[in-house]
Structure 1
Amino acid sequence: MLTHLWMTGKLERVAGIILGKFTDDSYDSNTFSMEQVMRDRFEPLGIPTLRGAMIGHIEDKTVVPIGIQARLDVDAGTLTLLEAAVN
């Protein structure tokens, strides 16, 4: 799925990417590591990318609203919502 988004140019329209915490990012020596895949896909875009956020298919996850303005600070590891998610 990530490769499809990358090949179709969809990732060129994003301002930043937040990746959840991967529960099994082990790999064998015949495949690429998760870190290598992420670096190969996201570094050429030149956008902030945060990996390891407590979102996704894990326990103790944080709900992140879609479609509102937010500020991503990769150095601090924070996402600040700039508007209300609900009325």
Structure 2
Amino acid sequence: IVDAVGHLTEVWFDGGIRTGQDILKATALGAKGSMVGRAFLYGLGAMGEQGVTKMLEILHKELDVSMALTGTKDIREVGRHNLAQL
């Protein structure tokens, strides 16, 4: 999809983002951002504001580890080369 619109618009992933790995994949496919509404609501429902903070910390850590495993230090360096070709 990102290839189809190229530079004409920004693509944001909304739905299916549950982990830091999902954020990495979305970014590698060309997304400018990812929505994490369900995870946000789960954190809010479980622990209120602290739950949302914890959810964001978990996603950040998962993304950090995933980037490290691909040898990437900066999110701006993430691209299709970080995805496995099956």
Q: Which TM-score band applies after superposition, normalised by the shorter structure?
A: under 0.3
Q: TM-score, normalised by structure 2?
A: 0.27
Q: Which has the higher helix share?
A: 2
Q: Which has the higher strand share?
A: 1
